[in-house]
């Protein structure tokens, strides 16, 4: 491989990206209106992007933390809504603004598993200690979403069910340091059943292999600490080969598809978790990601000459972080937050464990 200095021919416009994510936290263009119900995930992309850029000082953490807590679906007085708890994506349902319990009774109010995942991540990024997270509610909410086949719905009223939501559930249980939120064995069986004939994972059994689902499968097993138990060495080697073959210049998500910035993270992080990322070509990967950089407004797009969006901007940055771009913070490949935020989580978990030990029970 060439010297890293030679790879740095295309400028990485750090300040523009800081401005891009800062702007994302303020006013969004009209075309984002349809994403209102999942606004918390956009907040996560912007906040974690600023964290990777080491630029969190541009945000007012306290205001953000309060807003995130206002999206928590809290248990009502009689706890009859426990299975609906977690975080909602925005205030669209119209319940009164409140950061404290008990929750209010509302027939359509419930958490969304991806919002609970991105909400918890965002709180960690902002340095919150998660002390106001209702763990009992979050875990009951997650547990209620698991189906008999081991997969998860996103919301209690039902939705698609697949490995994406197993991944969100695994992240939530991992962060809260409590796996009572899922039947791990059933989840592993669903993941194993999604391994396709060509040695990567699909959305479910019999579905086409895909880089995104493969990330969710491998990252979930890593968070559970069950990777080597769930998959044989031979299977793991074949998955490694499938993932390495996804590199063209950047990475694509499936054979014969065009390369796309986000797969520099989805496939790159999977290869990192499988300990073979170093066998890929960092220079070509970097050049592709930077070819999608918007030199005027910042951010990264899916493809060159198209518009940047928060998801691709964030995952493009994470892709650059994985190959060691100077001036970027390192990313935790399974949780998809910075190593800095991950260390904060580890410190919190240490204090929870100490208090559990000293009280001999609940914390
Ligand atoms: Zn993409």
C-alpha 182 to ligand 1 mean position (Å): 29
C-alpha 285 to ligand 1 mean position (Å): 14
Beta bridge partners of 300: 293
User: 361 pLDDT exceeds 60?
Assistant: no
C-alpha 270 to ligand 1 mean position (Å): 15
**For the chain, what percent of residues have pLDDT higher than 70?**
96
User: 362 pLDDT exceeds 60?
Assistant: no
User: 259 pLDDT exceeds 50?
Assistant: yes
User: 7 pLDDT exceeds 80?
Assistant: no
User: 6 pLDDT exceeds 70?
Assistant: no
pLDDT for res 152: 98
pLDDT for res 253: 98
**pLDDT digit string, tens, across residues 99-110:** 998 999 898 999
C-alpha 53 to ligand 1 mean position (Å): 20
CA distances from 324 to 49, 277, 283, 303, 332 (A): 15, 12, 11, 22, 13
C-alpha 253 to ligand 1 mean position (Å): 8
Question: What is the rounded average pLDDT of the residues 210-220?
Answer: 98
**pLDDT digit string, tens, across residues 14-68:** 999 999 999 999 988 888 899 999 999 999 999 999 999 999 999 999 999 999 9
H/E element, 86: strand 86-87
Buried/exposed code over 258-295 (b: 16+ C-beta within 10 A; e: otherwise): ebbbbbbbbbbbbbbbbebbeebebbbbbebbbbbbbe
The pLDDT-based confidence of 218 (bands split at 50, 70, 90) is very high
C-alpha 239 to ligand 1 mean position (Å): 21
C-alpha 11 to ligand 1 mean position (Å): 22
C-alpha 292 to ligand 1 mean position (Å): 12
Looking up tokens 């303020």, which residue turns up? 26
C-alpha 312 to ligand 1 mean position (Å): 6
Q: How far apart are CA 63 and CA 340, in angstroms?
A: 21
C-alpha 311 to ligand 1 mean position (Å): 8
Question: What is the rounded average pLDDT of the residues 148-156?
Answer: 97
Q: How far apart are CA 168 and CA 231, in angstroms?
A: 20
**pLDDT digit string, tens, across residues 112-124:** 999 999 999 999 9
C-alpha 308 to ligand 1 mean position (Å): 11
For 165, the token pair is 């939501």
Q: Are 259 and 251 in contact (CB under 8 A)?
A: yes
C-alpha 216 to ligand 1 mean position (Å): 15
User: 3 pLDDT exceeds 60?
Assistant: no
**pLDDT digit string, tens, across residues 281-326:** 999 999 999 999 999 999 999 999 899 999 999 999 999 999 999 9
Q: Are 274 and 218 in contact (CB under 8 A)?
A: yes
**For the chain, what percent of residues have pLDDT higher than 90?**
90
H/E element, 332: strand 331-332
Question: What is the rounded average pLDDT of the residues 327-334?
Answer: 97
C-alpha 206 to ligand 1 mean position (Å): 23
C-alpha 246 to ligand 1 mean position (Å): 14
User: 2 pLDDT exceeds 80?
Assistant: no
- On the 0-12 / 13-18 / 19+ scale of CB atoms within 10 A, 157 is exposed
C-alpha 200 to ligand 1 mean position (Å): 18
pLDDT for res 4: 58
The pLDDT-based confidence of 363 (bands split at 50, 70, 90) is very low
CA distances from 251 to 243, 248, 292, 297 (A): 9, 6, 13, 24
For 148, the token pair is 């008999």
Residues in Cβ contact with 58 at an 8 Å cutoff, skipping those fewer than 6 apart: 18, 22, 50
H/E element, 337: strand 337-338
C-alpha 315 to ligand 1 mean position (Å): 9
C-alpha 218 to ligand 1 mean position (Å): 19
Q: How far apart are CA 320 and CA 292, in angstroms?
A: 12
Buried/exposed code over 313-337 (b: 16+ C-beta within 10 A; e: otherwise): bbbbbbbbbbbebeebbebbbbbbb
Least confident range of 62-66, 184-188, 204-208:
204-208
C-alpha 103 to ligand 1 mean position (Å): 37
H/E element, 343: helix 339-359
> Can you give 276-297 as a three-state secondary structure string?
CHHHCCHHHHHHHHHHCECCCC
């Amino acid at each position: 491989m060439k010297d890293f200095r030679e790879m740095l021919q295309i400028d990485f416009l750090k300040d523009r990206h800081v401005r891009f994510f800062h702007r994302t936290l303020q006013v969004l263009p009209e075309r984002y209106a349809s994403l209102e119900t999942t606004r918390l995930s956009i907040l996560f992309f912007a906040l974690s992007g600023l964290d990777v850029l080491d630029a969190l000082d541009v945000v007012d953490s306290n205001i953000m933390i309060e807003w995130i807590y206002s999206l928590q679906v809290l248990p009502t007085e009689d706890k009859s809504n426990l299975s609906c708890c977690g975080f909602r994506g925005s205030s669209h349902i119209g319940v009164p603004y409140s950061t404290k319990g008990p929750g209010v009774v509302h027939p359509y109010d419930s958490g969304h598993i991806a919002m609970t995942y991105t909400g918890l991540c965002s709180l960690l990024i902002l340095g919150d200690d998660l002390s106001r997270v209702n763990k009992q509610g979050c875990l009951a909410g997650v547990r209620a979403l698991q189906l008999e086949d081991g997969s998860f719905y996103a919301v209690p009223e039902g939705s698609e069910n697949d490995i994406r939501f197993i991944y969100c559930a695994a992240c939530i249980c991992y962060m809260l340091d409590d796996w009572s939120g899922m039947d791990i064995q059933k989840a592993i069986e669903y993941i194993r059943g999604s391994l396709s004939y060509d040695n990567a994972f699909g959305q479910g059994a019999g579905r086409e292999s895909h880089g995104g689902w493969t990330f969710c499968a491998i990252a979930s097993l890593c968070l559970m600490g069950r990777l080597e138990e769930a998959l044989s060495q031979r299977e793991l080697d074949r998955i490694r080969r499938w993932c390495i073959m996804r590199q063209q210049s950047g990475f694509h998500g499936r054979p014969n598809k065009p390369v796309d910035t986000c797969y520099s993270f989805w496939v790159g992080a999977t290869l990192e978790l499988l300990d073979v990322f170093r066998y890929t070509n960092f220079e070509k990967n970097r050049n592709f990601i930077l070819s999608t950089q918007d030199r005027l407004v910042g951010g990264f797009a899916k493809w060159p000459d198209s518009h940047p969006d928060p998801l691709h901007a964030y995952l493009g940055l994470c892709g650059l972080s994985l190959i060691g771009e100077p001036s970027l913070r390192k990313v935790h490949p399974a949780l998809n937050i910075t190593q800095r935020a991950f260390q904060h989580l580890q410190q919190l978990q240490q204090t929870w464990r100490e208090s559990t030990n000293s009280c001999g029970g609940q914390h």
